Structure 1
Amino acid sequence: MSMQEKFCGHCATPLTRAVPAGDTHSRLMCDRCGHIVYQNPKILVACLAFWQDRVVWMRRACEPQRGSWAIPAGFMESDETPQQAAARELREETGGVVDPNQLELFLLGSLPEISEVYLAFHGPLLSPQLNRGEESLDVALFSAEEVPWKEFAYPVVQPSLQQFYIDHQSRQYGVYQATYGAGQHTFSRIGGSEEGT
C-alpha cells in the first residue's frame, strides 16, 4: 500500500477498509470526512494502423517483453478520447500518423486480473513513413505472412490480431470482445460492417 493509500487525500486521516453504505465492494475510506477511495481499471489502447495490406508493428525497447514485437499500445491519458490516445501511442512509438477521427473500434478486451480494459482501434496511416520512438528498438510494416509470431510479445492476443488481418484483407471489419485471464481466454464477434470500407 502506498503512502497515498494510507492517508485520506482530503484531511490526512489514516484510511480504513470497509464496505460503504449502498456499495458491494470493500473500499479504503476515511472515518473522519467520509472520503471513499475508488480504484478503477486503467484503459489500455492499441492502434492497428495500416498501409495497404501491411500493419504497423514495433519491437519493444522497454520491459515487459523487451525485444519482442507488438502492436503500438499504451495507457490513455486523462485529457484524451480513446482514439486520440491510440493515435498518440502510435506516433510516440513508431512515428506513424493516423487521423484519430478515422479510427474505428476493433476490439474491446477485459483483463480483470490486472484491472485493465483494452481497446484496439484500426485505421489507415496518412503515409507509410515510420520512425522508431524511445520505446521502440525497431518498427516495421508487416503483411499477415511477414508477422514474426514466434517473437510476439503477447501471444494471448494472437487470435485477435490474426482475425484483424482476415478482416483487413476483405475490408469487412468486425468488432470483437475478448477476456484475457489465467488459462481462460474468450474471443468473439459482437458487430461490425458487412460492407467493405
Structure 2
Amino acid sequence: MKFCSSCGASVAFRIPPGDTLPRHVCDHCGTIHYQNPKLVIGAIPEWEDKILLCRRAIEPCHGKWTLPAGFMENEETTAEAAARETLEEACARIEVGNMFSLIDVPHISQVHIVYRARLLDLDFRPGEESLEVALFDEADIPWDEIAFRTIALSLRRYFADRRDGRWGFHTCSVSLNDPPPGLIGR
C-alpha cells in the first residue's frame, strides 16, 4: 500500500502507538490501515453417495478439480457465501448444512471454511469459473487432480467421517511444506 484510501496521502509502514505489529499508517489523516486474512468459503454439495466437484476455468490451478468455493463478500454470512459460491461456480442450488472444516492457511493469509450441503436438485452446469462440474463417488475422485491442499484435506476427512458414520467439525493448518494435494492422506 502506497497511498491512504481515506485521504490519498502517502502512508508509512510502521508500528502505530498501542500496537505490536507494523501497519500502513497515514500521517496526514491518522488512519491505520489493517490488512487481515481473507476468508475462503465453500461447500461439499452432496447428492445420495456422491459429491459435486468443479473443474477450474481460472488460475490458480486451471483445469484442476475443487469444491465450489471462493472469497467471502462483505455483508454476507459464511453460509450465504457457501451457497452463493456454489451457485456461481456450479449453477447449483444447495441447502447449507453444518460447518465441516476450518483450515488456517497462514502463509497466504487465508482461512478456509467448508460446509456440508445438500444439492436441492440435479440441475447444475458449469458457471463462468468452471470448465465442467460433475458428481463423484469416493472411488472416482480424481485425487491427483485436486487443486488445493485444503480441499483434499476436507474431502479425505469427509469420506473418513462418512465411513465411520460419525460427523465431526475439523480444524487444522496447512503450510508450504505440506505435500501436494494428490498425496495428502496416502
Contact 2:69 2:86 in 1 (8 A): yes
Aligned to 1:79: 75
CA shift, 1:32, in A, is 2.2
Partner of 1:153: 147
- Match for 1:167 among 161, 166, 177? 161
Structure 1 vs Structure 2 CA RMSD:
1.6
What is the alpha-carbon distance in structure 2 between the residues aligned to residue 144 and residue 55 of structure 1? 8
> Cα offset for 1:171?
4.7
Whether 1:65 aligns to 2:58 is: no
Tell me the equivalent position of 1:15: 11
| Structure 2 length-normalised TM | 0.89
In structure 1, the gaps of 5 or more residues are: 186-197
Deviations 1:115-158 (A, max 9, x none): 11110111211112211111111111111111011222124642
Pick aligned residue for 1:140 from 129, 134, 141: 134
Indicate how the Cα distance of structure 1 residues 159 and 14 shifts in structure 2: closer, same or farther if over 3 A, else same: closer
| Aligned-residue identity in percent | 38
Which runs of at least 4 in structure 1 moved beyond 4 Å after TM superposition?
none
> Structure 1 length as normaliser, TM-score?
0.85
Q: What is aligned with 1:111?
A: 105
Compared CA separation, residues 159 and 12, structure 1 to 2 (3 A): closer
Q: How many residues align?
A: 179
User: Deviation of residue 103 (structure 1)?
Assistant: 2.2
Matched position secondary structure for 2:40: strand
* Partner SS, residue 181 of structure 1: coil
SS at 1:104 equivalent: strand
